[in-house]
Amino acid sequence: MATFDGKTVLITGGGSGMGLATARLFLEQGANVAITGRNKAKLDEAAKHLGTERIFTFVADVAEPGQAKAVVEATVKKFGRIDILVNNAGTNLKERTFRELTPESWQQVIRTNLDGAFYCIHYAIPAMLERKEGLIININSVAGLRASPLGGIAYAASKFGMRALGIGLHAEEMASGIRVTNIYPGEVDTPILEFRPTPVSEDHRARILKPEDIARTVVFVASQPPHVSIPEVTVKPTGQAFV
């Protein structure tokens, strides 16, 4: 019997990068997996590549509460339940300094990175509370621990908020059997690097984390028994400072 036989995992931002790598690893471990994102072509390609009846795709922008609700309901209709929610959807901007930010670009980052996570939790957690068991994993960033110019102010603010959301929710609901983990990756070779103000070289990409590194961390957290909770995990490239 595989580790996650009979379990259902919902992963936002699952069409590429860390979300796709995480979906693949959960599928290998026997889980049913739902992936969501805004790009239908990416989701279709991901499902074709993964090639199993245990993968379900649903096009949605989780920054919109109605669409977050729809993806949760569709996943439950397909698989019967959601045992693990992985909030992975995220975005950033090329124009990320405070001087460059506008109210519109600020909202774009906050809504995707922070509001989207809240909406998905809001709609997924009632059934978890009824069962007195559920795991929520927030893919945060070292920018949620260190507000540096590399990530930009809006991105850091969204990730600091995501950190508070995870820590606060766990504190409120730990007696209800709900576990919440915030994972803080350092630099990862994913499509979000395309939003860097300065292009990232191939040599630099070779030195940083790969999506599979974070996927293994997610599955490690999820593989712990219900009485074990891991509140926070930081994973960074060996060559990246953590100061």
Enumerate the active-site residues: 155
**Smallest Cα–Cα separation from 5: which of 72, 75, 79, 56?**
79
Residue 148 CA to residue 151 CA, distance in Å, equals 6
The one-character DSSP state at 194 is G
Residue 75 CA to residue 58 CA, distance in Å, equals 8
Q: Is the distance from CB of 16 to CB of 210 less than 8 angstroms?
A: no
Q: Which helix (H) or strand (E) holds 161?
A: helix 153-173
Residue 166 CA to residue 137 CA, distance in Å, equals 8
Q: Give the total residue count for the chain.
A: 243
Residue 114 CA to residue 61 CA, distance in Å, equals 13
Residue 85 CA to residue 89 CA, distance in Å, equals 12
The one-character DSSP state at 188 is B
Q: Is the distance from CB of 187 to CB of 200 less than 8 angstroms?
A: no
Residue type, 159: K
